[in-house]
Amino acid sequence: MWGAIEHLGRDGRTGGYLRDAWSPADRELREWFRQEAERRGLDLREDRNGNLWAWWGDPSGRPGVVTGSHLDSVRQGGAFDGPLGVVSAFAALDALRARGAEPARPLGVACFTDEEGARFGVPCVGSRLLTGVLDPDRARGLTDDEGDSLAEVLSRAGRDPGALGRDDETLRHIGVFLELHVEQGRGLVDADAPVGVASAIWPHGRWRFDFRGQANHAGTTRLDDRDDPMLPFARTVLRAREAAERAGVLATFGKVRVSPNNANAVPGLVSAWLDARGGREDAVRALVAELADSSGAEVSAESWTPVVDFDADLRDRLAAVLGGAPALPTGAGHDAGILAAAGVPSAMVFVRNPTGISHSPDEHAETSDCHAGVAALADALEDLCRS
């Protein structure tokens, strides 16, 4: 399965992946998911928001146990973030069947759409729409770098953008959600463990800073006559780092758009996106407020996810099933966090990442650890499907 998808959307120059939601690569990955479900005789369903569900058993009579992740990527991201959880879900189902397991509850494999938010700027679009966290009118109006709205993109893909929104029927089918994911850090390296379980997801959000100035000629405009928005932007980047160090949180300006973006012109507009997250919500929000006050920019919030504490009983049950696997928090957002915040009992299994690097072509997991992850996921699913 891994070999069948590792080339899809891969940039031959960098080794990174370009798997924007509803792009040709994403559509190929969705077709791969359909074929894998069909090969196993699973009942494939697509909900009103484009999320895919492959069921072993009928969840309409009794809510099932669901596992899975996403197949889209950040731009120039790694191979494991998302796809490892989907491939491992199918592999764990295969392992259960090989054991002769007969789950007492329906078992589902999920593929959430647009988890990364690389194309339209808002993460976890599929799960946010499913749970009603994201307003469907706002979602339809989101635009990509080409100016195409999500509504237009969905229409071209043969989907009905008018159907977007909270999907109570699908939610009723999910009794428990368990997401396997490559760890995006070095916690399991430090713990010397191939797998672990998530204890919590830090609060995190994205804000857009628009620095406005006056576009002008780079060769004829005196320094004293310039209104260059690149200067307050640069100062804000440095302030963000200093403020983050003081507050013990993380702050990153990772996306910048400059207009008119000419090498021989003073910019007229610099738009930059701040990603801020940390262990305490008040500290994250204080940092953003400080930067908004000092930057002189127009600041708008694009997304916010409060702290998510995963169900302690479910977490402890998983850790016990997995032989005392360590529990650790994460600063990365996931669909499991969106579902947990909406009241769906949810948990996560992490697979060791020897470098700790993620959202980069250097993201990695050893094959032996991936196999350990599949075995752990199969054990956890078997336990959860007993009752």
Cα–Cα distance between 340 and 310 in angstroms, integer?
7
* pLDDT confidence tier of residue 36, bands split at 50, 70 and 90: very high
* pLDDT confidence tier of residue 345, bands split at 50, 70 and 90: very high
Sign of CA dihedral 354, 358, 363, 366: positive
**91-134 pLDDT tens trace:** 999 999 999 999 999 999 999 999 999 999 999 999 999 999 99
**44-72 pLDDT tens trace:** 999 999 999 999 999 999 999 999 999 99
pLDDT at 387: 73
Answer yes or no: pTM beyond 0.85: yes
pLDDT at 107: 98
DSSP state of 75: T
* pLDDT confidence tier of residue 376, bands split at 50, 70 and 90: very high
pLDDT at 217: 98
**242-297 pLDDT tens trace:** 999 999 999 999 999 999 999 999 999 999 999 999 999 999 999 999 999 999 99
Secondary structure of 178-230 in HEC code, one letter for each residue:
EEEEECCCCHHHHHCCCEEEEEEECCEEEEEEEEECCCEECCCCCHHHCCCCH
372 to 4, 86, 318, 325: CA distances (angstroms): 21, 15, 14, 12
3-class secondary-structure state, position 238:
helix
pLDDT at 351: 98
pLDDT at 98: 97
Q: What is the mean pLDDT of residues 186-205?
A: 96
Say how many Å lie between the first and final Cα of the chain, rounded. Answer: 30
Cβ distance 168 to 178 under 8 Å? no
Q: What is the mean pLDDT of residues 175-188?
A: 97
| Orientation angle between helical segments 281-295 and 230-247, nearest 10 degrees | 150
CA 175-177-183 angle, 5° bins: 170
Strand partners, 107: 56, 65
